[in-house]
Amino acid sequence: MFSLLRRIWQAAPVATVILGGALVVSLFFAVRLVAFWIYWADPAHRDQAIEPWMTPGYVAHSWDVPRELAFEALGLPPAPGGPRSLQELAAERGVAVEDLAQDLQAAIEAFRDARGPRP
């Protein structure tokens, strides 16, 4: 194994560094993919009660609705400028977190009623 690496390094050191970097980045994203898959495969993370620490994107993923629906329900632009929790959004607007949660819940229920039952 080490003789192969030594031979590759001697033949093309720059390409070897690029290959090593690409392998590290690929490994990072593969681990991240598996971690997210395990997290979201857990039924406890589906249809979670809306909490102040959640972001609109997290709520949308948990409730299996489009992210745009969550942003529209809260009156946010499509790219709101980074993940902000409902608590932060409520503080910026001077409203209670419960009001934002009710708006989100109403939009989710309306979407699900229009969509119908999932197969």
Helices within the chain (DSSP H only): 2-11, 13-41, 56-63, 67-73, 86-93, 97-115
DSSP code, position 69: H
Tokens 């977190």, located at residue:
97
Q: What are phi and psi of 29, to 5 degrees?
A: -70, -30
pLDDT tens-digit map of 47-75: 999 999 999 999 999 999 999 999 999 98
Average pLDDT, the chain: 91
Tokens 């229009």, located at residue:
114
- The reported pLDDT for the residue numbered 19 is 94
Nearest to 61 by CA among 34, 81, 39, 86: 39
- The reported pLDDT for the residue numbered 79 is 64
Q: 17 exposed, middle or buried (CB, 10 Å; 0-12, 13-18, 19+)?
A: exposed
- The reported pLDDT for the residue numbered 35 is 97
- The reported pLDDT for the residue numbered 13 is 93
What tokens appear for 111 in the block?
């979407």
Reported pTM: 0.76
CB 107 within 8 A of CB 72: yes
Percent of the chain with pLDDT over 70: 95
Would you place residue 2 in the very low, low, confident or very high pLDDT band (cuts 50, 70, 90)? confident
The CA distance from 97 to 93, in Å, is 10
Residue 45 has pLDDT above 80, yes or no: yes
- The reported pLDDT for the residue numbered 54 is 94
Would you place residue 38 in the very low, low, confident or very high pLDDT band (cuts 50, 70, 90)? very high
